[in-house]
Amino acid sequence: MRSPQMKLSRGTLSLLTVGLLFVAVVAGVGWRILSDSGNGSGGVERAERPDTEGVEVASADAFAGARVVEGAAAVRDTLWIHVVASGEVAGYRESRIAARTGGVVEAVHVRENQLVQAGDLLVQLDTVEATMQLAQARASLVTAEADYRDRQLRFRADDALLSGLPDLPSPEERDQLFRIESGLVAAEVEIQRAEMEMDLTRIRAPFTGRVADLDVVEGAYLGGGGEVLTLIQTDPVKVHVNILEADLQYMQEGRRATVRLTAIHGETFEARVESVNPRIDPDMNRTARVTLVLPNSDDRIRPGMYARVNLETQSYPDRVLVPRDAVVERGEERRDVVFVALNPDEDGGAMTDWRYVTVGHSNETHVEIVPHEETSMVEPGEIVLVRGHEDIAHQTAVRLVENVTVAEREEGS
């Protein structure tokens, strides 16, 4: 009898062992599933935006060793769409300065790149001939004035005899007659002519600018009309660009533009549209010339520099905007997502909030976030992540810094 009982006990024990192992496996799998579902940084990417309701604010300890990221505030502003064009810097005014009379160059008072003011003396021509002409004109004037005074005196002596005669000229008419007969009028004209000839020997700056292409030296003979130098007004300067005819409808005087110069790396300059040429040039790919003006008070921008221009065209006012880098694609459907840093503390510590969004218009730097029933919104003032967020998940502890590269280097040192 004992032998059957012993055999039955062993079978029962085997069944109990299998059952316990099964329960343990099920419990382990269940615990793993629960752990993965509660851990936002798990390896399984969510297909839908995670539920954020009931999330508690993390303690300060939760941000120890947090991922460093960069952030920027969402804003409500006007979104401008731009047209990109290239062009060349030119002086606001540029003129070849030429001599108005011939003569030997007596003195050159400027050098290339020198800043001169309107009216400054640039080049002095020889004045010997002009001086002689002026002296002769002055001598003729003295003679004419003496003759004029003599005629006046003689008329006064005869005035009593002639006073009763009819049809006498008026005093004004009589004086003008004396001026002409004495040669005084002609002498005064010759004085003006001689003074003008003297002034022509002085080549002056017609406007404020910088000297370029100086072509004369002292002692050289310069014929009338001979070019001396180029004068360029460099503050402000102009940029000429060609715009396609389809974009001309958006071009208006006063519209803003940003200019980047190949010769000045890493800087952007503000400009405004000064004029739009109404004629479309069929030989230039059906484009029209648009002229921009930008300040150059520090004189770093030089005529001839290559410029890359972004011109404002269409505008969309009162839009919620985030930087382009804030929007990333997630999931099999490649849906647009932004990460919002929730309630950053004074040290920049925050938890991320994953939000599916609907984007609208965009330009080179910003994207419009528009309301949609199937996606979330971002409110102006909320901090969106723009760098370091490419592979993070919902409810990830992060620390906002000004520069991710610098922060990571400091943490690694």
Main-chain phi, psi angles of 332, to 5 degrees: -65, -30
Q: If you average pLDDT over every residue of the chain, what do you get?
A: 83
Residue range 60-78+318-412, CATH number: 2.40.420.20
Kindly report, residue by residue over 328-359, the tens digit of the pLDDT: 998 888 899 999 999 999 889 999 999 999 99
Token pair of 296 as six digits: 């150059």
Q: Are the beta carbons of 258 and 87 closer than 8 angstroms?
A: no
Fold type of domain 81-92+230-317: Elongation Factor Tu (Ef-tu); domain 3 (2.40.30)
pLDDT tens digits along 139-196: 888 888 888 888 877 776 555 555 554 556 666 777 788 788 788 888 888 888 888 8
10 Å CB burial of residue 198 (0-12, 13-18, 19+) is middle
- Beta partners for 271? 257
Mean pLDDT of 239-249: 91
Determine contact, residues 179/150, Cβ cutoff 8 Å. no
Each residue of 33-84: pLDDT tens digit?
444 444 443 333 433 455 544 444 455 556 667 889 999 999 999 999 889 9
pLDDT of 99 strictly over 60: yes
CATH of 100-125+204-225, one of 1.10.760.10, 2.40.110.10, 2.40.50.100, 3.40.50.300: 2.40.50.100
Q: Residue 383's pLDDT is what?
A: 96
In this predicted structure, what is the pLDDT of residue 147?
82
